[in-house]
Each structure stands twice: as structure tokens, then as C-alpha cells.
Amino acid sequence: MLAYKKTPPELWSGRTSDQKLYLHEKVDCTSFKALKTHKNSKTIALLGYACDEGVKRNQGRIGAVNGPEVIRRSLGKFPNHLADETQLLDYGTLYCTNNDMEQAQVDLSKKIAALLSTNIFPIVIGGGHDVAYGHFKGLRKYLGAKKIGIINFDAHFDLRLNTAGNTSGTPFYQIAKECQKEGSVFNYMCLGIRKDANDKNLFETADSLNVKYLETTHFNMHYLEHVQLILMQFIEDVDYVYTTIDLDGFSSAYAPGVSAPSPMGFSPDIVLESLRVIIDSKKLISLDIAEMNPTYDIDGRTAKLAASLVHYVMHAI
């Protein structure tokens, strides 16, 4: 399999119109060979990260490698409310070959930096949550010493030690260690943490790294004002915000098609309200969706949720 592949236009389909009423009629499938600077229009780029090697190493359910394709298929059927001058580009998919997740992350970091350098807003669709390490590295490559805040919607800290190797459970620990080496602050907030999904060592690691987090018992609409407040406080202290959404943080009632499902997760409404706060700050620089596993999806439920999240963000930024 090629390490990078342009998206075939026929992957995008849905109802047809003569007014580009649907996203499959709006999107333009292109490649990095055609990358150019966009100065005067809002341009959104979708980029696939087809890798579940990290999930496999983390003893999770494999299948997320096929996540980018099903998210695209679902998203193509959604209505298009983007302005005529807004461009929606599909820059294809990066693949993990020969189980070399680390190379896939390096490739992703280069692509993220390239998209940002041409004034494009990247939305990465995965793929395991190891996507976060490559994504952050691309942001650092582009932003230099600017303060990057990471907001992760997730049931898990993904702060496992990588002494035995990198997995989908280690990306934020890897980022934390690199921040320490370069003398920068590790600005990380995780919303939706569950005690039944993280052992006590992970909580201790989070505390030692000064990670901000809300457990799922307080990440719901009953505590909306509190959630909004801590988000605004976190965002105020950084220059840019990178947002990552792990679909396994949602209750399996909404997202059965993930690597680590649970009925005890959060619901879409609090995530959408949180995203609104992030977007309104004007500091959001990029987004990714992780752990879409179509092997275990039911009636395309998880794919539709992922597509709805992407649809919301691309119309709100």
C-alpha cells in the first residue's frame, strides 16, 4: 500500500443538485503536489490518517485504519452551508506501512506544517489517537515557540509511559517529555476522563505534569457554566489551541464503533457547547478526530457522529 494516496472523487457521494447543496458537490479532491497559498478565502483541508498500529500495540480493537474512508462517505451526504468563497479540499490520506507508526507520524507532521503554511485550516480524520503526536509535531514545526494549548475530549489521558514503545496511549506523554526538553510549558486539558478507564498511575502522571482535566461526572450539561469557565481560563493562557476528539470518549450509545467503547461516556451536546467556546476564542488552529473504527460500528452511528462534528466545526470557524 502506498504511504500516501489521493482520495478518489467517487468516494464522496450523495444526493445531487445544481446548487452544490451537499458537501460531496462542494469538496475538491486534490493532492500536495497542487498545494498553494490561499490568502483571501477561508480554506479547509481534510487529511486522512489511516493507522491503527498504535491501537494494536496498546491492545485495543483494531480497525481504525479504515476510519478516514467511512467518515468521508458519511460527510459527503451532509448539507453544504459553506459560503461560495470558502474552499473545502480533500488532501488524501497518509497510510501506516510496514507497521511503522513513527514514520506515519513524521509524515503527518510535515503535511500539517505544509497546510498551515499556506493558510489552510487542517482537519485530520483517523485513525488511532497516535495521530495526536504527529499532529502536534506539525504544529510545533509551523508555530515555533508559540504557546500551544491542547484540548482533548477523551475518556483516557493517553499519558502512558513509552518506555516499552510508542502506542495510541502514549502521545501526550511523548509531547510532555518533548516540552520538558525544549523548556516549554506542557499545556494540556482533557475533558471527559473516567476513573474506570484510567489506573491510579495515570492520574498521578497527570498530576505530576500539571494536566488540567474534568472527569465525566462533571463534563455534562448540568455543569455547563463550569465547563465553559475552565475552558476560557485555559484558552486565555495560550496563543493557539489544538483540539483533538477521541470518539471513544462518547457513550457507546452514540459511538459504538471505536477501539475502546463504554456506555459511561459523555454525550454530543456538551462537546458541541465546548467546541463553540473554543471556536469563539479565535485561537483554534487545527482539529482531529480519532479512533473511528467501522468494524464495530452500528448503522453507521459513529461515522455519522464523526461527520457531524466535522460539519459543525467547518461551518463555525
Q: Where are the beta strands (DSSP E) in 174-290?
A: 187-193, 212-215, 240-246, 284-290
pLDDT, one tens digit per residue, over 66-115 is 999 999 999 999 999 999 999 999 999 999 999 999 999 999 999 999 99
For residue 12, is pLDDT > 60? Answer: yes
CATH code for the domain in which residue 62 is found:
3.40.800.10
| Full residue range of the structural domain in which residue 76 is found | 4-316
Q: Are 12 and 27 in contact (CB under 8 A)?
A: yes
Annotated binding site for Mn(2+): 129, 154, 156, 158, 246, 248
Q: Please compute, for residue 265, the number of CA atoms within 13 A of its CA located in the half-sphere on the CB side.
A: 25
- Residues annotated within the binding site are 129, 154, 156, 158, 246, 248
Q: Considering its fold, how many domains does the chain have in total?
A: 1
pLDDT for residue 2 is more than 70:
no
C-alpha distance from residue 110 to each of 94, 178, 314 (Å): 11, 17, 22
Count of CB atoms situated within 10 Å of the CB of 85: 9
- Per-residue model confidence as pLDDT tens digits over 108-161: 999 999 999 999 999 999 999 999 999 999 999 999 999 999 999 999 999 999
User: What CA–CA distance (Å, rounded) separates 89 from 28?
Assistant: 5
Closest CA to 76 of 260, 313, 304: 304
Query: Whole-prediction pTM value?
Result: 0.97
Phi, psi dihedrals of residue 55, rounded to the nearest 5°: -65, -45
